[in-house]
Amino acid sequence: MARRSSGLASVVAEIQRHQQRQRRQQAAAQRSAAAAQRQQAQAREQAYRAAQREAARGQKAALVAYQQSREAEVATRNSGIEALVHDLRSVLKTGLTAPAFSWQLMCPPIQIPPFDPGHLGRPIAMPDGRYYQVPPLSGLQALSPGAKRQHEAQVAEARARFEYDWQQAQAAEADRWRRLSEYHQQFTTWAAEEQRRSAARDAEVHALWCQVGAGDGEAVRQYFSAALLHTASTWPVGFPCQFALAYDTTARQLVINWELPSVDIVPETARIRYFKTDDRESEISRPPTERRNLHREVLAQSGLRVVADLFRADDQGVLQSIALNGYVTALSPATGNESETFLLTLTCRRDQFNALALDRVEAVSCLHGLHGQLSGRPDRLEAVRQGRQPDSVGGTLAESGTDHEEDTDLFDMDPIEFEELLAELFRRRGLQVTTTKRSGDQGVDVLAIDPDPVTGGQIVIQAKRYRNTVSPDAVRDLWGTVDHHGAAKGILVTTAGFGPGSHEFARDKRLTLIDGPQLVELLQEVGLSGHLGPR
């Protein structure tokens, strides 16, 4: 029994040891699995953190790239603003550095390209007989009747194919020569027509140039219109470059109305700033005073440049002076409609203008030095007194509803009748009018009173029934008469015209000059008749 108990105990002990080994193995396996899990978790954590760092680096790089693109965009816009302002400050300089217009520019040399036949110039390739050769029979084949017959048939077929291809190629070559001849004839006809048209244009332009030299009014108008149109492309973007002009053949004066840019041409924004912190833009406004001053500078430079362009284009010296009126087209606060407001006037003789060093002048000061007028506040459309207008230059204006048989030639009127006609003209315009006696009138032909309580007053009117240009002395005498009578205004009316000296003296004074064409138009407006010279 003791031995059986001992054996049982050993079995139990062995079982217990086995169980202990299993538990140790399980514990080791669990520890190993836990360690593996911890390692996996650590690896995942490291990978996650690495991914986050990479994503952060990618986001930062993308943010930096975006901010750089926004900064470049703002820099480009700032460069555009700076370039526009530079162009505005250089209006006069740009015009002076451009080549002067001349009649030769209206006759560009004709460019006839050499004849290019294209694919028709390539001959058709003729078939090569070598590629139609049938190899000769050799060996036993040369002794075989059947082989000989087959060979002869192949030779005949190759010869027929060669002859067909040759005829086709010859026909194609003949057709190429025919089409090439037609195309060359068309080119020759076209080139001759281009040369004929070019020669006709050159002859027409040369005839126009000769007429300009002879002082023909219409030719002068066409020539200087072409000059202004030619220079239009050299003005900054946004400039209207619209104009109307006329030529006074007696005074040799070009009268022009030129459209100027409004204050909107000067950008309100001086520069743009970009803030990276919150991805926003901020426009820095140009100071109002700087904007107004730059606009006035642009207007002055524009006026000087137009006059310079015209005098530089006058290679025959037909212009003695230029009368320029600069205006802007804007909405009228009173009517809501677009209207023309004159902001600049300048009348300048050639000798005055040639004495200027335009590349060194300050435009506003130069304009005032030439006794021109420039609005003090063009941004508010404060107008200046407009000078001579193009529609006042030329012959009699078109009439309507007038009986020509009763229409009097103003040149043939008696002086007393002429004064009476003027008195009736101003009477119909709402003035209280009396004519003076021929003696003791102290230079007054007609006395008128404007009854308007605000703008009215006594008006001294003188009549000059002349055929030639009125002397500036007559204008100065009228100014003395106005001063002597203490009149509010003086009006000098003539059947002829006034020279630049008269217009220059009358500027900025209480004087109005009415030339022959203007007089005829005023008469027609109030239902009176009259014309200048034989009809």
pLDDT in tens, the chain (535 residues): 445 556 667 766 777 777 777 777 877 777 877 787 788 768 767 766 777 777 778 788 888 888 888 888 889 998 989 999 999 999 999 999 999 988 888 788 888 899 999 888 999 999 998 888 888 888 777 778 887 788 888 888 889 998 999 999 999 999 999 999 999 999 999 889 889 988 988 898 889 889 999 989 899 999 999 899 888 889 998 899 899 999 988 888 999 999 999 999 999 999 999 888 888 888 899 999 999 999 999 999 999 999 999 999 999 999 999 999 999 988 766 667 788 899 999 999 999 999 999 999 999 999 999 989 999 999 998 888 888 888 877 532 222 233 333 568 888 887 878 888 888 888 877 788 876 654 444 456 788 888 766 677 889 999 898 888 899 999 999 999 998 888 899 999 999 889 888 998 998 899 999 998 889 888 877 678 888 877 6
Residue spans per domain, the chain: 8-89, 106-210, 215-392, 404-525
For 384-469, where are the alpha helices, taking DSSP H only? 415-428
Residue 159: in which H helix or E strand, if any? Answer: helix 145-213
Q: How far apart are the first and last CA of the chain?
A: 170
Q: Which two tokens stand for residue 202?
A: 């050159």
pLDDT of residue 403: 39
Report the alpha-carbon distance of residue 258 to residue 91 in Å, rounded.
15
> Which pair of tokens denotes residue 237?
């973007």
Looking at residue 172, its pLDDT comes to 92
Q: Is 81 exposed, middle or buried (0-12, 13-18, 19+ CB in 10 A)?
A: middle
- CA 463 to each of CA 30, 171, 343, 423, 466: distance values in angstroms, whole numbers, following the listed order: 129, 91, 31, 10, 9
Lookup result for tokens 């060194």: 360
Q: How many CB atoms lie within 10 A of CB 224?
A: 24
Which 8-state DSSP code applies to residue 445?
A: S
Burial of residue 371 (CB within 10 Å: 0-12, 13-18, 19+) is middle
- The residues, any chain, with a CB within 8 Å of residue 287's CB and separated by 6 or more, are 270
Q: How many residues does the chain have?
A: 535
The secondary element (H helix, E strand) that includes residue 325 is strand 321-331
Distance CA(526)–CA(84), nearest Å, equals 49
Confidence (pTM):
0.60
Provide the pLDDT for residue 399.
29
Q: Contact at 8 Å (CB) between 482 and 490? A: yes
CB neighbourhood size of 16 (10 A) = 10
Collapse the DSSP code of 128 into the 3-class scheme (helix H, G, I; strand E, B; otherwise coil) and give the result.
coil
Alpha helices in 90-144 (DSSP H): 91-97
At the topology level of CATH, where does 404-525 sit? Answer: Trna Endonuclease; Chain: A, domain 1 (3.40.1350)
Residues 408 and 534: beta-carbon distance below 8 Å: no
